[in-house]
Amino acid sequence: MKQTALRRAATVSAVAAAFVLALAGPAAAHVTVNPGTATQGGYTKVSFRVPNESDSESTTKLEINLPVESPVGSVSVKPVPGWTAVAEKSKLATPVKVHDSEITEAVTKITWTAAGGSEIKPGTFQEFDVSLGPLPAVDQMVFKALQTYSDGTVVRWIDEPAADGTEAENPAPVLKLAAASATAAPSAAAPAPAADAAADKSDSGNGAAWGIAGLVAGLAGLVLGLLAYRKAATPSA
């Protein structure tokens, strides 16, 4: 009986752990933009974080599409050792005024390609930095991303946020934009440090939420296992 109770406890704990991993895995694996917030009209540096979710293949290419409906006048790419970056411009249907100058084209796609040996290996991630500004007067910028693996598989992180807040199966990186304060306008020379701090807090908050969920599920499994063990060990009257 004791062995049966122990087997039941082990089974419950394993199921609880598998449940937590099933929830946390997909949420942690997609391409993200960090920080996740910035200020309208300002400049910021963002990092596109690319984890490799394959067990055997490496990530060899990343394509980030900038929203053409809310173009950015200045786009600069930070070099990544072992990777080549190509920024492609497109003609704008409607010219946009940036710093009293009218622009008729803007960067709408950036493609990073790995050279031999610099691919993102399984179990690792890479970050690709981009400077953007001035940021458009919209609530958010959706960067549709395509991640290519060494076997030719392409994962399309292109799903836009749902209206009800639920996460899509293949969510695109999203940069939330807040209106500039009338009393403290953002600097045009560099991103506001507060934006980075807010994004880090958001990322850590998400991680803490998954950690709490895992702890609760694990404790539930342990309690059920102990109850089963005590029931089996209690002699019948």
> In the predicted model, is pLDDT for residue 92 greater than 60?
yes
CB atoms within 10 A of CB 53: 19
> In the predicted model, is pLDDT for residue 209 greater than 80?
no
In total, how many domains does the chain have?
1
Q: What are phi and psi of 119, to 5 degrees?
A: -60, 160
234 token code pair: 């209690």
Q: How confident is the model at residue 234 (pLDDT cuts 50, 70, 90)?
A: low
Task: Identify the domain containing residue 83 by its residue range.
Answer: 2-233
pTM: 0.67
The better pLDDT of the pair 96, 153 is held by 153
**Cβ burial, residue 77 (10 Å; 0-12/13-18/19+):** middle
79 token code pair: 């070099």
Give the mean pLDDT of the chain.
77
On the question of a cis peptide bond just before residue 35, with omega within 30 degrees of 0, the verdict is yes
What is the dihedral angle through the alpha carbons of 35, 185, 138, 154, rounded to the nearest 10 degrees? Answer: -20
Q: Strands 32-34 and 83-98, how do they pair? A: unpaired
CATH number at residue 91: 2.60.40.2230
> In the predicted model, is pLDDT for residue 22 greater than 50?
no
For residues 104-121, average pLDDT: 95
The better pLDDT of the pair 173, 1 is held by 173
> In the predicted model, is pLDDT for residue 21 greater than 90?
no
Complete DSSP assignment for 169-226 = SSBPPEEEEEPPPSSSPPPSSS--HHHHHHHHHHHHHHHHHHHHHHHHHHHHHHHHHH
